[in-house]
Amino acid sequence: MKQTQLFTKTRKEAPKDEVSKNAQLLIRAGYVHKEMAGVYSFLPLGLRVLHKIENIVREEMNAIGGQELAMTALQDKALWEKTGRWSDDVIDVWFKTALKNGSELGLGVTHEEPITAIMKDHIKSFRDLPVAAYQFQNKFRNETRAKSGIMRGREFLMKDMYSFSRDEAEHQDFYAKATAAYLKIFERLGIGEITYVTFAGGGMFSKFSHEFQTLTDAGEDTIYVHEGKHMAVNKEVLLDEVLKDLDIKREDLVEKKAVEVGNIFSLGTRFSGALELNYADANGASIPVVMGCYGIGPTRLMGTLVEVFADEAGIVWPESVAPFAVHIVALFDKEGKVKTVADELYAELTGKGVEVLYDDRDLRAGEKFADSDLIGIPVRVVVSEKNIASGPATAFEIKSRKTGQIEKVSRDAVIKLFA
CATH numbers and ranges of domains, the chain: 21-309 (3.30.930.10), 326-418 (3.40.50.800)
Report the amino acid identity of residue 190. G
pLDDT average, residue stretch 355-375: 97
Whether residue 342 contacts residue 358, with contact meaning beta carbons closer than 8 Å, is answered with: yes
pLDDT average, residue stretch 32-40: 93
Cis peptide before 288 (omega within 30 of 0): no
- What region does 314 belong to: left with phi over 0, alpha with psi -120 to 50, or beta? left
| Whether the model pTM is above 0.85 | yes
pLDDT of residue 323: 98
Band the pLDDT of 146: cuts 50, 70, 90.
Answer: confident
pLDDT average, residue stretch 228-244: 90
Which residue blocks in 83-239 are alpha helix, DSSP H?
112-119, 168-188
pLDDT tens per residue, range 99-130: 999 999 999 999 999 999 999 999 999 999 99
As a whole number of angstroms, the distance between CA 292 and CA 112 comes to 9
Is residue 202 pLDDT above 80, yes or no? Answer: no
Whether residue 123 contacts residue 131, with contact meaning beta carbons closer than 8 Å, is answered with: yes
pLDDT of residue 203: 67
pLDDT of residue 80: 96
Give the residue from 157, 247, 233, 240 showing the smallest Cα distance to 201: 233
Give the residue from 291, 310, 133, 286 showing the smallest Cα distance to 216: 310
In angstroms and rounded to an integer, the radius of gyration of the C-alpha atoms of the chain is: 25
Q: DSSP 3-state assignment of 195?
A: strand
Q: DSSP 3-state assignment of 68?
A: strand
pLDDT tens per residue, range 37-68: 889 999 999 999 999 999 999 999 999 999 99
Band the pLDDT of 25: cuts 50, 70, 90.
Answer: very high
Q: Which residues, in sequence order, are CB contacts of 140 under 8 Å at separation 6+?
A: 73, 95, 107, 108, 109, 154, 155
Is residue 177 pLDDT above 90, yes or no? Answer: yes
Band the pLDDT of 204: cuts 50, 70, 90.
Answer: low
Is residue 340 pLDDT above 80, yes or no? Answer: yes
Is residue 16 pLDDT above 90, yes or no? Answer: no
Q: What letter does residue 193 receive in the DSSP assignment?
A: G
Compute how many other C-beta atoms are within 10 angstroms of the C-beta atom of residue 112.
21
pLDDT average, residue stretch 174-180: 97
Whether residue 134 contacts residue 61, with contact meaning beta carbons closer than 8 Å, is answered with: yes
What value does the mean pLDDT of the chain take? Answer: 95
- What region does 35 belong to: left with phi over 0, alpha with psi -120 to 50, or beta? alpha
Q: How many residues does the chain have?
A: 419
Q: Which residues, in sequence order, are CB contacts of 258 under 8 Å at separation 6+?
A: 196, 198, 213, 214, 215, 216, 219, 221, 222, 223, 232
pLDDT tens per residue, range 274-301: 999 999 999 999 999 999 999 999 999 9
| Dihedral of alpha carbons 217, 221, 225, 229, sign | negative
pLDDT average, residue stretch 340-359: 97
Is residue 342 pLDDT above 90, yes or no? Answer: yes
Of 8-12, 34-38, 201-205, minimum mean pLDDT range: 201-205
CA 14 to each of CA 28, 166, 214, 307, 386: distance values in angstroms, whole numbers, following the listed order: 6, 52, 25, 15, 35
As a whole number of angstroms, the distance between CA 387 and CA 391 comes to 7
For the ranges 100-104, 179-183, 332-336, 391-395, the one whose mean pLDDT is highest: 179-183
Which residue blocks in 328-393 are alpha helix, DSSP H?
337-351, 365-375, 385-389
pLDDT average, residue stretch 212-240: 92
